[in-house]
Copies of this chain bind each other. A is one copy, B any other.
């Protein structure tokens, strides 16, 4: 959105934009005001809580998070401390409270957190990676150390997710962005048990808050995502929604799965793709959205058309 790009010029630091409450509130609300979606998501990053555990980080514009002292030794893991969200993340409460107040009953406020494997990947690699060679080296040559780090991260993430709910989040999405780079058997060893650990701890105190799990490139592990304890599994566009629905089992709802590139097409093309996805998702619950952020040069009117079409569909479904 142009409004966001303008604001970014005024606040060039991502951490400022996400940690100064009035700025983060404004950014969170920009798409809501423009398109009136059914959900508003906290403007933040999955690495936001890391400094609260003792892992210093910065978010470089266009490059993503940078961890200046990557976590790779027993001593570093021992030195991590518990997350005290009120003290470490004082901006979260005013942001979420303001969002709830602003959108009222018209939309749902979503919080979000990173999953243990993905946060461990950032902490160990020190930045994003194409191959995840450093964390895989640790995983396959010294797994005991990594399991300690994953356990500490899971407990901190659970505390953070509960705190977001206490502050006003009505749904929490957990991003295990890089878990799709694991083989299914390694996903079962290093990713899923820690997703479960987070979800179980959150459900203990907040049993009614829906929890969403997103993994990028998840086509090989969809069945396993459905066994994580998530209520809703996000499905990206690299898998056919009908196949995904059949593989997941009916105890979970789905989210997704439009290719954001679809918004480059004509209105008729966009509508056909929306109808196709909704039809394939069936009647077991579906949060329709793009499988990724809006791509550069997407016409804003096409984004608006996406929301209009989706909302007409909801109404039609309610009436039928």
Chain A: residues with CB nearer than 8 A to chain B?
131-133, 136-137, 139-141, 180-186, 217, 219-221, 237-240, 243, 257, 259-262, 264-266, 269, 276, 292, 295-297
Contact = CB atoms under 8 A, between A and B. Distances in A.
A238 B220 contact: yes
Given A136-B264, A220-B238, A220-B239, 8 more contacts: A133-B295, A133-B296, A137-B297, A140-B265, A180-B238, A183-B237, A183-B257, A185-B240
Query: Which residue among A140, A141, A182, A243 has the maximum number of chain B CB atoms within 10 Å of its CB?
Result: A140
Contacts of A141: 264-266
A136 B240 contact: no
Contacts of A184: 238-240, 243
A264 to B, nearest CB: 4
Contact of A219 (B133, B220, B260): B220
Query: Which residue among A217, A266, A292 has the maximum number of chain B CB atoms within 10 Å of its CB?
Result: A217
Contacts of A220: 219, 238-240, 243
Nearest to A186: B259
Given A136-B295, A297-B133, A219 B240 contact: no
Contacts of A296: 131, 133
B295 A264 contact: no
Contact of A261 (B137, B238, B260): B137
